[in-house]
Structure 1
């Protein structure tokens, strides 16, 4: 019986950990795309079993490059990974033409060409939310295929997996038929995504590649909320009526998100935080206003009123 056949039996019996153990013991040069796919399915099975104990979506680092045509230049991607990021990817003798699988810093990186568009109009709906790229929805409506990228590996830190995902996605942006980057519930313009990713080369966190900042305007002011924190095991952030302008609210939430990710901060609720201008904000936990999941909610504390001099 081959290892793949055994893994299929274990998967059918929901013995996911046995698949993970077997794959971790197998030398990487003996991996095949089918075995890597089985490992990913097993990890997903384990995550489903543990979702009561951890935030749903933790460690899920995936993204897609939307393509105008169902083709890619794999060798160009391999060269770009090496020249731009120092990532050594190579084709294996038994690797299919539509996939690339390689191992970096305890992380399995899987890249696969899918010759069909994102189903059910999901990409178009996501593109419509990109306020930085008004033409996004129209631009990617013509996509006919995509490159799917995943970063897996429980032995690597969440931050490192997140960086590697960004590096591979940014390298894929160089494909001549790339239209946009579908990640974090929106679609990024390829050149912008590449530019933002270069912060990694300066030893800075690519927060804007990881997190999308959305806004809600009403009579109370501007609110800002995130999409992407859960991949790092953190609740999404919601800053309620924390600015008169979108730029003010975004700056506040960006700084908090970066601080949480950089320093692995956990908010329990009841904290008071300050911005650079000394304004105070109360932190609470609860069901999200803009999300059905539990979030970290941030409210401005009004400045203390002082009595006028007599």
Structure 2
């Protein structure tokens, strides 16, 4: 008998749950409860039990195109109670979080094109020393620090590991993942933080993480970015928070939260959004940005500057502030400056520190 798509999804869900980092065994009971469509793909809803006497839990598997039997990798469960009235809504939120994660991690195969797959991909992680989360404290911190009021679903049970809420035209999601970030990815990126000597060693100790995602309309990128920083900064207040993994680096929590306070003064949180990498060449100090592509702009580089590292970082930061605050697109062959005597040449070419096309800004004025 030919295998059906539903049976293929059922088998994929069982295999995912049996993974050592999930249930570690096949569920005692599992059944498909329905389907829904999202982004032109079909998804299957499941309810399952860890043990025969346990409660029903929610899972999702997809997406499937047409009658294909291979899913696109969106298999997940937060192991939260199954509620028929909210199953589609919660499964949709899980799928959107997975999609945002892979959008952030995707390599830019078409990096020389004008568009970036990472544009609008506001997804990051707060590393935790143990798999727990004080959601009530997080909601209070959002209210007290940022004036954000979270309206939860009345049917959602206290202690739920996932929080999804709307803020204007945006959707925010925070979810506890009871396992380290796989494949040593966080540890590898922690090596990029030259400002935090203990970054790698502390990152190695994390046992779980909070995944933070903000979704919304493309024209609201700055507002989405601000909400994203507020969520991550509030997560930093969790007692078991070890680090913030975003923008290709792992930040120290107090550093990240401190720079988020720039928004209290009406400034853009550029040091939360953008990582300013620095290194020394044979001819001087070099610097680069990482994170501009999320806003739809090219990354910037300064090469071989006869200056102190802090001066190069501040120079790049001023350029980032100018571009993001004004929505300015810089082009190859142009100049940029803040006075008639302060003009800097712009060249667009393959990156030196990054595997993408970047804007080289001359440090010395013309």
SS in 2 for 1:292: coil
1:188 pairs with one of 251, 254, 265: 251
Structure 1 distance, partners of 2:207, 2:253, is 17
Structure 1 distance, partners of 2:100, 2:211, is 18
Q: Partner of 1:5 in structure 2? A: 36
After superposition, residues 258-273 of structure 1 pair within 5 angstroms as: 258-273=321-336
TM-score, length of structure 1 as denominator length: 0.84
After superposition, residues 290-309 of structure 1 pair within 5 angstroms as: 290-301=353-364
What's the CA shift string for 1:251-283, capped at 9, x where partnerless? Answer: 110000110000011112111223679443210
1:150 pairs with one of 195, 210, 213: 213
TM-score, length of structure 2 as denominator length: 0.72
Cα RMSD over matched residues?
2.8
What's the CA shift string for 1:112-165, capped at 9, x where partnerless? Answer: 000111112111121122111111111221100000000001265100000000
Q: Which runs of 5+ in 2 are unaligned?
A: 1-32, 44-62, 67-85
Q: 1:45 to 1:228 in 2, by over 3 A?
A: closer
User: Is the counterpart of residue 91 in structure 1 residue 165 in structure 2?
Assistant: no
Residues 223 and 243, structure 1, Cα contact 8 Å, conserved in 2: no
User: Is the counterpart of residue 167 in structure 1 residue 230 in structure 2?
Assistant: yes
Q: 1:9 to 1:129 in 2, by over 3 A?
A: closer
Residues 124 and 141, structure 1, Cα contact 8 Å, conserved in 2: yes
Structure 1 distance, partners of 2:218, 2:119, is 14
After superposition, residues 59-70 of structure 1 pair within 5 angstroms as: 59-70=120-131
What's the CA shift string for 1:218-266, capped at 9, x where partnerless? Answer: 1211111011111100111111123421011111100001100000111
Q: Partner of 1:80 in structure 2? A: 141
Cα shift at 1:13 = 2.7
Structure 2 distance, partners of 1:164, 1:57, is 17
Q: Partner of 1:23 in structure 2? A: none
Cα shift at 1:215 = 1.1
Residues 126 and 210, structure 2, Cα contact 8 Å, conserved in 1: yes
Aligned length: 287
Q: Which runs of 5+ in 1 are unaligned?
A: 15-28, 304-310
Cα shift at 1:55 = 1.6
What's the CA shift string for 1:46-88, capped at 9, x where partnerless? Answer: 999xx76622210000111100000010100011111111111
